[in-house]
């Protein structure tokens, strides 16, 4: 049985990121179906909407939208009915729920979630910090981190750090390299939560081999991809984490998002403990 495809039209008066994330989360539940995405960001005028409608009429499919302008929303819904394309205002059910609970009327503001508020600048600050402290390249200022990740090569330290930074969590990461000592004083850090990342030797070897292939490395028989050597690296890191009482997360079968969510939960507990002891 072959894979089925359908057209998915995402219309937003902002960046479209909310629609993309929501639709992909749902589409992932259908193994034999793939969407052909048509994304229309920053749709805030009738002319912009009409261009999107023309494409929907040319390639009917599912239409998801986030438009706070009621006139544009009604125009889109009418056009979808005429073309036989099911459509849904993704935020409307959530707005209705908020309204019924809070007893207040929302103020329509396109792209309000992307305003330059304190949270936005917190994320930018976290990202700057994280990029400076990626892969142990800046061996100072770790006390200013919220989270410090440790792990052998290819345990997803960098992508996890960047994801956390985008959530406003200042994250540093340090690779565990055989024969290379850790920066001094890590065990004395008070503010950051130190987390050890682990993975199965098989997974690490697979990722490292792919890495060497992508780099066209000449020597494919180095200890870097030797199964026994990798197993010892991971065992050594596990002993290090246990010695210092640092929590660990096995990333073998976890996505970056799942790893980050687990770290955020650990960090919340760490902050509560830090506050009660202060």
Mean pLDDT by 10 residues, the chain (278 residues): 87 90 90 92 94 95 94 96 95 86 72 63 90 91 97 96 93 96 93 97 94 75 91 97 97 94 94 74
Q: At what angle do helices 157-166 and 118-132 cross, to 10 degrees?
A: 160
- Comparing C-alpha atoms, which of 46, 79, 47 is closest to residue 63? 79
**Is 107 part of any known ligand binding site?**
no
Three-state secondary structure string covering the chain: CCCEEEEEEEEECCCCHHHHHHHHHHHCCCCCEEEEEEEECCCCCHHHHHHHHHHHHHCCCEEEEECCCHHHHHHHHHHHHHHCCCEEECCHHHHHHHHHHHCCCCCCCCCHHHCCCHHHHHHHHHHHHHHHCHHHCCCCCHHHCCEEEEECCCCCHHHHHHHHHHCCCCEEEEECCCCCCCCCCHHHCCCCEEEEEECCHHHHHHHHHHHHHHCCCCCCCCHHHCHHHHHHHHHHHHHHHHHHCCCEEECCCCCHHHHHHHHHHHHHHHHHHHHHHC
Residue 278 is predicted with a pLDDT of 58
**Is 83 part of any known ligand binding site?**
no
Residue 115 is predicted with a pLDDT of 54
**Is 194 part of any known ligand binding site?**
no
Residue 103 is predicted with a pLDDT of 81
- Comparing C-alpha atoms, which of 79, 103, 108, 114 is closest to residue 91? 108
Residue 121 is predicted with a pLDDT of 82
Residue 3 is predicted with a pLDDT of 80
Instruction: Specify which residues 223 forms β-bridges with.
Output: none
What domains does the chain contain, in order, with CATH numbers?
4-113 (3.40.50.2300), 118-277 (3.40.50)
**Is 245 part of any known ligand binding site?**
no
**Is 158 part of any known ligand binding site?**
yes
Tell which phi-psi region holds residue 62, choosing left (phi > 0), alpha (psi between -120 and 50) or beta: beta
Residue 207 is predicted with a pLDDT of 94
The pTM of this model reads: 0.69
**Is 73 part of any known ligand binding site?**
no
**Is 237 part of any known ligand binding site?**
no
**Is 225 part of any known ligand binding site?**
no
């Amino acid at each position: 049985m072959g894979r089925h495809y359908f057209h998915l039209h995402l219309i937003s008066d902002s960046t479209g990121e909310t629609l993309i994330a929501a639709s992909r989360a749902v589409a992932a539940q259908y193994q034999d179906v793939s969407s052909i995405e048509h994304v229309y960001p920053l749709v805030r005028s009738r002319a912009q909407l009409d261009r999107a409608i023309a494409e929907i009429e040319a390639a009917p499919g599912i239409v998801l939208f986030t438009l706070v302008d009621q006139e544009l929303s009604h125009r889109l819904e009418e056009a979808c009915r005429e073309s036989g394309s099911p459509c849904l205002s993704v935020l409307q059910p959530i707005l209705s729920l908020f309204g019924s609970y809070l007893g207040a009327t929302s103020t329509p503001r396109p792209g309000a979630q992307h305003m330059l508020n304190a949270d936005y600048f917190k994320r930018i600050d976290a990202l700057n910090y994280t990029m400076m402290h990626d892969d142990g390249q800046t061996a100072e200022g770790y006390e200013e981190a919220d989270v410090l990740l440790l792990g052998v090569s290819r345990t997803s330290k960098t992508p996890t750090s960047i994801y956390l930074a985008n959530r406003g969590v200042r994250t540093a990461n340090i690779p565990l390299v055989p024969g290379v000592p850790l920066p001094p004083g890590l065990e004395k850090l008070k503010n950051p939560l130190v987390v050890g990342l682990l993975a199965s030797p098989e997974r690490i070897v697979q990722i490292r081999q792919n890495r060497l292939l992508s780099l066209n490395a000449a020597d494919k028989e180095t200890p870097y991809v030797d199964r026994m050597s990798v197993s010892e690296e991971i065992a050594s890191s596990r002993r290090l984490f246990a010695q210092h009482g640092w929590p660990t997360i096995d990333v073998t079968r976890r996505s970056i998002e799942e790893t980050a969510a687990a770290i955020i939960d650990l960090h919340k507990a760490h902050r509560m403990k830090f506050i009660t002891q202060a």
